Amino acid sequence: MSKRASKRDRLESLRSSSDDIWFRWNRKNHYSIAALIPLVKGAGLADGPRKGVMLYSFATAQAQEIYEELSRSNVDAVYVAGGPHPSARPEEALRYFDYVAIGEGEETLPELIEMIKGGKDPSSVRGIAYKRGDQVVFTEKREPVDLDLYSPFEPPLLSPIEISRGCPWGCTYCQTPYLCGRKMRHRSIPVIVKYARFYSDLRFTSPNSMAYGSSGVQPRLDKVESLLKTLSELKKPIYFGTFPSEVRPDFVSEKSLDLIVKYCANRSLSIGGQSGSDRVLKAVGRGHDVNAVEVASDLCLEREITPNVDLIIGLPMETPEDQEKTLYLARDIVRKGGTVRAHYFTPLPGTPLENATPRPVEEKVALEIGRLAQKGKVTGKWTPQM
């Protein structure tokens, strides 16, 4: 049986196991649903609205599509929204949904479903929003959860292992600190190992992989090494600091790269550089300068590790000169042997820049990045997408 068929069979088993509670599943929210489905025993996966309780988790990019689906639906169900976009825009989501779970769902979702099934007063459930008549009601906010108390996934639906959550930096374009808090939390090594056993190779999610075990302000490489050393005993390839995770440039050092070389299979590292302008980096609250990005890239290349640097173009405070500095940084990284993943700035709800207008991309910058992309050195989308 092919891997594709095997995966399809696993999903079909979930689709047939529901007790009238459904997760609206698609490829774009796979990781979220993998973490949420262990919370709701007997829930199934649906490719559209079904009768019962319909649970949606989505980001801003999927919001309009989801709203249109519900606008067309005649299915009699209780509709519940969660995830980055509904958490940041609960009033908007409540035009289409009956309830919004705000922020982390591990504690909120089971209580909310119990309330729905039992016909109880929703005001008893913390961390939700709902309508009472024309008024939007917000219940008491929840504290961040202890990750060790909850599964990162439950077979047959798998996802990369979330090892850390939260970020102390508060970058103004990023939803992570506003959705998950500015205090970094980590899963313990025994729990990570437990779930690593489900994989033939190991991949992780974290706002900053090299911050494992730390506050996120200064690295604790002893904690990182303890994690990697323990995982290496499983005799499986380890991919650390690669997509869907990244590493802050100020956490890249000779010692941290030594750990990659010693324990990991990857010979590339995803680095969050974001801009080639010190002025822009300061304005968005990155907490590092351009030199840190350059040094991190050079240290990688010295160890034959390819730096794959994330850069954002179109941040609202950019000037043409700032964009040219980012282009210069991209050229320099590529010239030395690295690669770039470029992004056009998208204002995300719940962030300080949610109402900001993206800066148009200078024609010279767009053309030059396009040339680098044709050479296979740049990936991503660096111009506005219709």
**Dist. CA 100–CA 78, nearest whole Å:** 11
Give the pLDDT score at 19.
60
Q: Please state the rounded mean pLDDT for residues 157-173.
A: 96
Q: Please state the rounded mean pLDDT for residues 7-35.
A: 72
- Given a cut of 80, whether residue 17 has pLDDT beyond it is no
Kindly report, residue by residue over 212-259, the tens digit of the pLDDT.
999 999 999 999 999 999 999 999 999 999 999 999 999 999 999 999
Kindly report, residue by residue over 360-378, the tens digit of the pLDDT.
999 999 999 999 999 999 9
Q: Please state the rounded mean pLDDT for residues 256-277.
A: 98
- Judge contact between 311 and 276, C-beta under 8 A: yes
Kindly report, residue by residue over 284-298, the tens digit of the pLDDT.
999 999 999 999 999
Q: Give the number of other CB atoms < 10 A from CB of residue 189.
A: 19
* Ranges of CATH 3.40.50 domains, the chain: 3-138
Q: What is the CATH superfamily name and number for domain 160-381?
A: tm_1862 like domain (3.80.30.20)
- Given a cut of 80, whether residue 91 has pLDDT beyond it is yes
- Given a cut of 70, whether residue 18 has pLDDT beyond it is no
- Given a cut of 90, whether residue 308 has pLDDT beyond it is yes
Cα dihedral sign for 175, 176, 178, 179?
Answer: positive
Question: Which residues on neighbouring strands pair with residue 333, listed in sequence order?
Answer: none
In the chain, % of residues over pLDDT 70: 95
**Dist. CA 220–CA 334, nearest whole Å:** 30
**Dist. CA 269–CA 329, nearest whole Å:** 17
CATH architecture for the domain at 3-138: 3-Layer(aba) Sandwich (3.40)
**Dist. CA 86–CA 71, nearest whole Å:** 16
Q: What is the mean pLDDT of the chain?
A: 93
Half-sphere exposure of 289 (CA within 13 A, CB side): 3
> 5 falls in which pLDDT band (50, 70, 90)?
very low
In 3D space, the residue among 349, 267, 348 whose CA is nearest the CA of residue 308 turns out to be 267
How far is CA 172 from each of CA 147, 202, 263, rounded to the nearest angstrom? 25, 31, 34
- Judge contact between 324 and 287, C-beta under 8 A: no
Give the pLDDT score at 384.
85
Instruction: Give the position of tokens 């169900």.
Output: 77
Kindly report, residue by residue over 309-351, the tens digit of the pLDDT.
999 999 999 999 999 999 999 999 999 999 999 999 999 999 9
* Ranges of CATH 3.80.30.20 domains, the chain: 160-381
pTM tops 0.95: no
